[in-house]
Amino acid sequence: MSELSGNFSRQSLSPEDPELSGNHSPHNDTFGLAPFRLAGPSSSRFRHAQSAILFVMFFLALGGNCAVICKLWSGRVRSGAKKLSNISLLYLQLAVADLIAAVCCILSNAILYLIQHFLAGNFFCKVLRFSQRLGLATSTFIVVAIGMDRCLALLFPLRRAQLRWGVKLMIVLAWVSGALFSLPQVFIFQVNIFHSDEGSIFQCDNSVGYTARWQEMSYDLMHLIFLYIGPIVIIGICYGKIIRAMGVEAAQAKNGGYLSTPTTANPPAMQPRTSRFEHARLTSLKVSIFVISTFMLCWTPYYCSLVYHIIHRPPPHDDYYYNHAIYFCGLGHSVVNPIVYGAYHFFQRSKASRRTTGSMRTDRVRTMSSSSSRMSGFKKLASFHSLRRSPTSLTS
């Protein structure tokens, strides 16, 4: 790791690992995160603290994403559906991509912070770097697909067959694009040996992957455009259309009673079904908004820091702890996604159970009041008949 590699040059800002992916060549001046040069016990304590934080993040991401996968699959089995809904299929792909990122980014870095050497060989170095970028890039592309799916589902609610085909196409394109975007990692990274006062260090890094600084800058700018700016623009357009469409629907409902009053096209028997459909669509829209918001909150500090390092190229010792906090924030996207999904559905379930309990109580009160009214009616009728029979009995 960089803190064991002597006074090398500053490292490149990598979403997979800010320390292990830097350029350590003393003759190359790359931009990015500063190397960790603290010596002595403080260096070891900080490295162990980083490893502990990453292990906690990994177990949260592992448990959360596995829980999301199990919930989606068990929900399909319980409902008897032959296939997942479009949005559930996208959430499943997002959970799988986040699992890859959790194992290949969070867990691998947590281990490397402890053992300090990459001992798996050159082949696994390339596989690891490819898998790291694959998980992060595909997760980003799936988030974009979620925004596009919600937009199409709201604008074209009756074209379910075409939307299903479109969702499958977006999933395939997300994984293929993630793989193509990760392919340069195979050629950039390899295991290199660095010599310091503490001995030889084996690291999986990019110290020989770039022959000029413009190559590294171009690669980082490509990350910025395709993994942040482009997704933000597409998501913004999609949700702009969603807000506009919901405003039009609200205006129609206010003026003409759109889908709110029984008509020939919307008979009374279809009202509960329409209401359930609208509620499910609104729920999936809210969840997708939360997922996309977490993407922006987690990755915005990282890419802002990337732009800062590209433009200003600060000294290696500046803002080291701040940069690592940003790095952890970016990796936290794989941890936060399942937490947001699970927390929202938990609150929705508790709200639905409270609503069901309240309706059951209301029905019970209504039943009791109706039964008591029927009993009082029977008593009045019986007293009336007794009064009619009483004169006959007296004359007899």
Taking only the tens place, the pLDDT of each residue in 162-207 is 778 889 999 999 999 999 999 999 998 888 887 776 677 888 888 7
Other beta carbons less than 10 A from residue 28's beta carbon:
17
pLDDT score for 120: 85
CB 42 within 8 A of CB 23: no
Which pLDDT score is estimated for 200? Answer: 76
Question: Which of 227-231, 282-286, 327-331, 360-364 is most confident?
Answer: 227-231
Rounded Cα–Cα distance for residues 31 and 248 (Å): 49
**Radius of gyration, CA atoms only, the chain:** 31
- Superfamily per CATH, domain 2-347: Rhodopsin 7-helix transmembrane proteins (1.20.1070.10)
Residue percentage of the chain with pLDDT more than 70: 62
Q: What pLDDT does 271 receive?
A: 47
pLDDT for the residue 37: 36
* pLDDT tens readout for residues 118-174: 888 899 999 999 999 999 999 999 999 998 988 888 888 767 667 788 899 999 999
Model pTM score: 0.73
**Taking the alpha carbons of 10, 13, 16, 18 in that order, is the dihedral positive or negative?**
positive
H runs (alpha helix) in 183-226:
184-188, 213-224
pLDDT in tens, 73-107: 887 666 666 788 888 899 999 999 999 999 999 99
pLDDT in tens, 40-57: 344 678 888 888 999 999
| More confident of the two residues 259 and 60 | 60
Which residue's entry shows tokens 């989606």?
72
Residue pair 121/191 in contact by the 8 Å Cβ criterion: yes
What φ, ψ does residue 158 adopt, rounded to 5°? -95, 0
Q: Is 182 helix (H, G, I), strand (E, B) or coil?
A: helix
Question: Amino acid identity of 184?
Answer: P
Residue 357 is which amino acid?
Answer: T
How high does pLDDT run on average in the chain?
A: 73
For residue 331, the model assigns a pLDDT of 84
**Residue closest to 96 by CA, chosen among 127, 133, 142, 55:** 142
Sign of CA dihedral 203, 209, 214, 220: negative
pLDDT of residue 330: 82
Q: Are 93 and 72 in contact (CB under 8 A)?
A: no
C-alpha dihedral sign at 139, 145, 150, 153: negative
Q: Which two three-digit tokens encode residue 234?
A: 């597409």
Amino acid at 352: A
Averaged pLDDT for residues 270-292: 65
Q: Among residues 105, 106, 108, 118, which one has the least CA distance to residue 190?
A: 118
CB 150 within 8 A of CB 288: yes
Q: At 228, is the pLDDT very low, low, confident or very high (cuts 50, 70, 90)?
A: very high
